[in-house]
Amino acid sequence: MRILFANKFFWPSGGSERVMFQERRCVLDAGGEVADFSMRDPRNLPSPTADHFVSHVDYNATGGPLRSLRTALSFIHNTEAMRKARDLAEAFRPDIVHLHNIYHQLTPSIIRPFKRAGSKVVLTLHDYKLACPAYLMLDKNGRICDICAGNRFHRAAATRCQGSLARSLLLSAEAIWHAWRGSYDLVDAFLAPSRYIGNAVAGRIGPERLKIIPNGVDTGYFAPTWEDRGYALYLGRLSREKGLDTLLDAQAGMTDPPPLAVAGGGPLAERVAASPGVDALGVLEGDALRRALAGAAFVAVPSRWRENCPMSVLEAMAMGKPVVASRLGGLPELVEHGVTGLLFEPGDTEGLARCMARLSGDATLRRTMGEAARQRAENKFSLARHCRELLNIYHGLLAA
């Protein structure tokens, strides 16, 4: 079986990349062959097909995506990526092309040349891009937004959901273009890591092409120590949509707050560094991440956006840590309230503080919930189970 993985970053930039690299390893361990399609970047890991990667482009650089018409058009439809996708498909002849985070730098335009080469195409839904041009389903004030539901993608521009009219217009144009071109009509199967995101996009893609397959965690590598050093831990982007401001406010308002360790990078980094009782750990990977988890009393996931199936929650569960999470998106599918952790209403600072106080003051409760979380990770979210389900999907598509 020959699988080609496509993702705009070929380094562990975030959760979607970590999932992709796990799945790539699954295919190799099962005796399959792999090829990679991505963007050139000095941070990339080695790949035998790196010569086929597209030119590097940073749409967040000074001037933004509209600094030239040519750059703006490539944001929607990347002709270089299409050409290189066609060449790689001819050279590798993949049975299946598995798309992850391809938007903007690679664009959904690459789907067509892969299909013309005779490959089956699978796309993992890491975010809400098919339902929301800006992918987060938040308005310009950071509130939950469904205004583009029903393929009304022009509304992103009309409401200036990105703050900037130019950027909002470009995102609307991108979504409208690919809907008109039928880019996603060529995808054979969409993989939804949560039932929630599957329901959010089912109206556009149809239930017959939708497969629910939660992300997996390596329960051997992320193994519990059953000890903690009493601190709360936050893992993720330091930004408002992740609810970090809610967490910092809750911490500041508690009479006897637990120490808080924050790992990640982003626009709220300065506030984190200036907050009393907060230890800014920076971006953590590998063994450093595992050590931070091992010492945590619990992990806080206070998101304001509809999380899908975050790896931070799965890794915390595998390490035997209770999770305090907002009752939003796919999080309630992972965290059983009162069993493996606690849920609170998104943005509710006082509710989050109560959950934190309850766990920080009761080591026995933490151990009980942590053991239940570990058991749930083993039974439902192990990487071995994810790999079996993924390979079954691949084989099913090829048999069909």
Same domain? For 289 and 357 the reply is yes
Q: How far apart are CA 142 and CA 12, in angstroms?
A: 26
**Amino acid residing at 188:** D
User: What local confidence, expressed as pLDDT, does residue 155 receive?
Assistant: 87
Answer yes or no: is 135 within a domain: yes
**Exposed, middle or buried: residue 284 (CB in 10 Å: 0-12, 13-18, 19+)?**
middle
Q: What angle do CA 271, 296, 382 make, to 5 degrees?
A: 115
Q: How far apart are CA 390 and CA 119, in angstroms?
A: 17
User: What local confidence, expressed as pLDDT, does residue 14 receive?
Assistant: 87
**Exposed, middle or buried: residue 400 (CB in 10 Å: 0-12, 13-18, 19+)?**
exposed
Instruction: Tell me which residue range forms the domain holding 15.
Output: 2-216+383-399
Distances, alpha carbon 328 to alpha carbons 53, 307, 323, 344, in Å: 37, 7, 14, 9
Take residue 184 and report the two structure tokens written for it.
């996603």
Q: How far apart are CA 15 and CA 100, in angstroms?
A: 11
Q: What angle do CA 65, 68, 73 make, to 5 degrees?
A: 65
Answer yes or no: is 221 within a domain: no
- CB-facing half-sphere around the CA of 92: CA atoms within 13 A: 28
Same domain? For 30 and 115 the reply is yes
Answer yes or no: is 11 within a domain: yes
CATH number of the domain that residue 195 is part of: 3.40.50.2000
Please list the residues that pair with 185 across neighbouring strands: none
DSSP H stretches of helix in 206-348? 244-253, 269-274, 286-295, 311-318, 331-334
Residues 6+ apart with CB under 8 A from 199: none
Same domain? For 33 and 164 the reply is yes
User: What local confidence, expressed as pLDDT, does residue 66 receive?
Assistant: 52
From first to last of its 400 residues, what are the pLDDT tens digits of the chain? 999 999 999 999 888 999 999 999 999 999 999 999 999 999 999 999 999 999 998 776 545 555 566 777 888 889 999 999 999 999 999 999 999 999 989 999 999 999 999 999 999 999 999 999 888 888 888 888 888 888 888 888 888 888 778 888 889 999 998 999 999 999 999 999 999 999 999 888 888 999 999 999 999 999 999 999 999 999 999 999 999 999 999 999 999 999 999 999 999 999 999 999 999 999 998 999 999 999 999 999 999 999 999 999 999 999 999 999 999 999 999 999 999 999 999 999 999 999 999 999 999 999 999 999 999 999 999 999 999 999 999 999 999 8
Answer yes or no: is 225 within a domain: no
**Amino acid residing at 69:** L
The secondary element (H helix, E strand) that includes residue 385 is helix 383-399
User: What local confidence, expressed as pLDDT, does residue 62 receive?
Assistant: 41
The dihedral region occupied by 118, where left means phi > 0, alpha psi between -120 and 50, and beta the remainder, is left
Q: What total number of domains does the chain contain?
A: 2
Answer yes or no: is 364 within a domain: yes
